[in-house]
Amino acid sequence: MRKQEERLQRQIAAAAKAAGHVPYRRGPPREALIARRKAQEPPPQPED
């Protein structure tokens, strides 16, 4: 049972890495990630 769990964790980690997500303990804090994502987003367009 534990082996299957480990394999699942590895699959999740590999998928997350492929998607560009970094596990919290390795990467910058969430706030920094959010700030960087906001900086990359184009400003919202005015709706008129």
Structure letter (DSSP) for residue 15: H
Please indicate, yes or no, if residue 29 is contained in any of the structural domains: yes
Output the pLDDT for position 48. Answer: 67
Confidence category of residue 34, pLDDT binned at 50, 70, 90? confident
**Average confidence score pLDDT of the chain:** 74
Flag whether pLDDT at 28 surpasses 70.
no
Instruction: Give pLDDT, residue 8.
Output: 86
Q: Is residue 45 part of a domain?
A: no
The structural domain count of the chain equals 1
Whole domain around residue 23: which residue ranges? 2-40
| 17 in a structural domain | yes
* Residue 27 located in a structural domain: yes
30 in any annotated domain? yes
Longest pairwise C-alpha distance within the chain: 58
